[in-house]
Amino acid sequence: MKIGVKPLTAYKMRSITNKIIEADSKFIKVISNSPLCDIGMKQKNSSHFKTLVQSIVSQQLATKAAAKINERFSFLVNNSFKPEVILTFKPEQLRSVGISNAKVKAITELSIAAIEKRVNFESFNQMPNHLITEELTKIWGIGRWTTEMFLIFHLGRLDVWPVGDLGVRRGWEKIHDLRTEIDPIKLDKKGINFEGFQSVVAWYCWRAVDN
């Protein structure tokens, strides 16, 4: 979501879900049985840096476990998610709240990159997806998945198609009654039919898995 751009309205999101159904009628059931997608509908209060740090902590963890570790981490840094603050803590202090060695390294690298201005956080709201991805994935420990989740859920970008996400693929398979696993490359090509609102399609794929 760019600065100066109002959050998406429910009316606009419903028009997007109608476009999804027009492009692929298989989505009628999951859209009808799910709440309205809320990507881009709320302004985020957390800083870009804080969101990325918490995303790193949450990688490959169950939701409850990730929330618990992030809670401990927040207490450790006195809820001051700033690179200069995090760098005052020794690696063993960060590990003491349940953060793995690899994640400690990733958080440290991100903090250093932020201080050295190698990550242009101030311009993220105006930057296109591919340039944000290019900047973030240069940092050790931040890959495509983390960047895609950041673009979708923090920046509210509607045009992200995270085919590398297992939940998206499983949801697509369920929606389309597929008996075999769909290849990410094949699914990537199908995203062309939803140009401009692939993030919303992904959101409903996740819902299909949960339903």
- Looking at residue 70, its pLDDT comes to 95
Each residue's pLDDT tens digit, 64-73? 999 999 999 9
| CATH 1.10.645.10 assigned to 10-42+159-210 | no
For the chain, give every residue range classified as CATH 1.10.1670.40.
10-42+159-210
Contact at 8 Å (CB) between 180 and 152? Answer: no
- Looking at residue 5, its pLDDT comes to 54
Region for 196 from its dihedrals, namely left if φ exceeds 0, alpha if ψ lies in -120 to 50, beta otherwise: left
Convert 188-208 to b/e letters by CB count within 10 Å (16 or more is b): eebbeebeebbbbbbbbbbbb
Active site (annotated) includes residue 159? no
Its sign, for the CA torsion 102, 104, 108, 114, is positive
Rounded CA separation 163/139 (Å) = 22
Rounded CA separation 104/119 (Å) = 18
Tell me, which fold does domain 48-154 have in CATH?
Endonuclease III; domain 1 (1.10.340)
Residue tagged active-site, from 24, 38, 159, 165 = 165
For the chain, give every residue range classified as CATH 1.10.340.30.
48-154
Instruction: Tell me which residues of the chain have a pLDDT lower than 70.
Output: 1-5
Tokens coding 155? 């920046």
- Looking at residue 63, its pLDDT comes to 84
Provide the 10 A C-beta neighbour count for residue 154.
Answer: 19
Each residue's pLDDT tens digit, 54-89? 999 998 888 899 999 999 999 999 999 999 999 999
